[in-house]
Every structure is written in C-alpha cells, then in structure tokens.
Amino acid sequence: MRAAVITFPGSNCDRDLAVALETCLGQKVARVWHADRELPPVDLVGLPGGFSFGDYLRCGAIAARAPIMAAVRRHAERGGYVLGICNGFQILTEAGLLPGALVRNAGLRFVCRTVRLAVANRNTPFTSAFGAGPVAIPVAHHDGNYVIDREGLARLEGEGRIAFRYLDNPNGSVADIAGVLGPRGNVLGLMPHPERAVDPLLGSEDGRPLFASLLAAA
C-alpha cells in the first residue's frame, strides 16, 4: 500500500504518522506539502495531528482550504483512502469530507491520556483487523468534542459509520463518538492517535490493527 502524509504549517504529528505508516506498511511514505496541488499516486492519504495554521480562526478551518485539499477531495471521490487523525479529523470536517464538527472539550482543557475505545464497526477498511475487545489508544486534544445534529447522528448510526466510541469519554463527544467514516467508508477521521500506539515501548500497540486493516484492504 502506497501512502502519503500531508504537512500543513503547524502540523506536528506528520513525522510520527509517517514513521508509524512506514513501520506498519513496510514501505516508504511520501511527504506532501500543503501548498502542492497534486498528490503522488498513492492508496492512502494521511492528514496528521497538530495545530495547522495555529488553530487560528477554528481548528482545521484554514487548512481545509489549502491548495492540496482539492486533490485530497478528488482522491476520496475516486475511492482512495483518507485518514485524518486529531487535527486531521478537524480538517476533514471543516473540508466537508466528514459530517459534524469538533468543538472545545467539555472540560475546557487540553487532555492527553490513554483512553479505552470500543471498535464500533469492525466491518470497514480501517477496522477489519481489530479484535472484539476494547483498545487503548492515546488522545491529545483541546477540541475533540464531536457534535452533529440529530438527523446526522441517526444517519451515522444507521449506516454503521461510527468507527470508534470512547469507553471513558474524555471530551463530551455526542454518543461517545471517537471516530467517524465518510459516506463511502473510505474516509476516516478520529481524535485518538493510533500512530502513537504502534510501539510496545510507548505502552500500547493497539493502533497497529488500524494500519493492518488498511494493508489488508488494499
């Protein structure tokens, strides 16, 4: 599986995501600059965590309008995989590639801790390799409180597009939502950081099945 990671000004998990992808996919990952207009030929595009454009205006709002995002949109429309983690998730909602929005945590503070997640739908290209039990993956965000209107939530629930739910909700997200899929199932946004959970030295390898799922899907 060929993958690319986009760097926006203020991205700070771009290296971590590239390293995790290279570890789990066994292949060099292309690095793409936000001002580029084309993606290299890849199967997966990763939008990393961080504070793109300083989180000024709204988290992800400015990055969602970066030149590269038109190419990301075309890639998604072609059925290519898109993975947005943390700030990447915020960018995908701001770009309209995922429904809903991420607002300030209910506790109003940044929170960095390992949380337990339930894999809510194991029948997706991002989750097929997960087992049945809960997984432990770190979160680190100030604006991870997922909100969506009632109809939108019903649609997500009905279409099996909630990929992950918090078992100990750290941010007040509606329906404990930690990650959601786009309408075609090829775009995933999630607040937890699977790329920080691929190395036993860091305390958890529970992020690996996400990348293994993608490898199997390609």
Partner 1 sequence: MSAPSDELLAHHKLDRAEYARIEEILGRPPNLVELGIFSVMWSEHCSYKSSKIHLKKFPTSAPWVVCGPGENAGVVDIGDGLVAVFKMESHNHPSFIEPYQGAATGVGGILRDVFTMGARPVALLDALRFGDPAQPRTRHLLGGVVAGIAGYGNCVGVPTVGGECTFHRAYDGNILVNVMCVGVARADRVFYARAAGIGNPVVYVGAKTGRDGIHGATMASAEFSAADTSLRPTVQVGDPFTEKLLIEACLELMERDGIVAIQDMGAAGLTSSSFEMADRGGTGIELDLDAVPLREAGMTAYEIMLSESQERMLLVLEAGREAEAAAIFARWGLDLAVVGRVTDTGRMVIRHGGRVVADLPVAPVSGASPVYDRPATPPAAPRPLDPAFLPTGDDARNSLLRLLGSPDLASKRWIFEQYDWLVGADTIVPPGLGAAVVRVHGTNRALALTTDCTPRYCAADPREGGRQAVAEAWRNLVAVGARPLAITDCLNFGNPERPPVMGQIVACIEGMAEACRALDFPVVSGNVSLYNETEGRAILPTPQVGALGLVEDVDRLVRLDAAREGDLLVLVGECTGWLGASLFLREILGREEGAPPPVDLAVERRNGTFVAAQIAAGRVRACQDLSDGGLAVAVAELCLAAGTGATLLPVAAQDPTGWLFGEDQARYLLAVEPAGLAPLLEAATAAGVPAAEIGGLGGDALTLGRCPPISLAALRAASEGWLPSLMGERAAG
Which of 13, 75, 86, 142 is an active site residue?
Answer: 86
CB-wise, 132 or 201, nearer to partner 1?
201
Applying CB under 8 A, among 30, 111, 136, 175 the residue interacting with partner 1 is: 111
CB-wise, 15 or 122, nearer to partner 1?
15
Please state, in angstroms and rounded to a whole number, the distance separating the CA atoms of residues 35 and 196.
26
- If one asks whether residue 109 binds partner 1 (CB under 8 A), the answer comes out as yes
Please state, in angstroms and rounded to a whole number, the distance separating the CA atoms of residues 67 and 81.
19
- If one asks whether residue 56 binds partner 1 (CB under 8 A), the answer comes out as yes
86 a catalytic residue: yes
CB-wise, 46 or 50, nearer to partner 1?
50
> Which DSSP category does 187 fall into?
E
Task: Reduce the DSSP state of residue 24 to 3 states and report it.
Answer: helix
- Structure-token pair, residue 93: 């909602």
Binding mask 164-193 for partner 1 (x = CB under 8 A): ----x------------------------x
Q: List all residues 6 or more positions away from 72 whose beta carbon is below 8 Å from its beta carbon.
A: 6, 39, 45, 47, 82, 95, 97
CA distances from 182 to 76, 95, 190, 196, 210 (A): 9, 12, 12, 23, 16
Please give the sequence-ordered ranges of beta strands (E in DSSP) within 40-151, or none if there are none. 44-47, 81-85, 101-103, 111-119, 135-141, 145-147
Applying CB under 8 A, among 65, 67, 70, 110 the residue interacting with partner 1 is: 110
Count of residues touching partner 1 (by CB under 8 A):
32
CA dihedral in degrees (134, 140, 187, 209; nearest 10)? -40
Please state, in angstroms and rounded to a whole number, the distance separating the CA atoms of residues 83 and 72.
11
CB-wise, 139 or 162, nearer to partner 1?
139
141 a catalytic residue: no
- If one asks whether residue 132 binds partner 1 (CB under 8 A), the answer comes out as no
Q: Identify which range of 43-51, 66-74, 145-153, 208-216 contacts partner 1 by CB under 8 A.
A: 43-51
75 a catalytic residue: no
What is the set of active-site residues? 86, 193, 195
Give the binding site for partner 1 (CB under 8 A). Answer: 9-10, 12-13, 15-16, 19-20, 49-51, 53-56, 107, 109-113, 138, 140, 142, 168, 193, 195-196, 199, 201-203
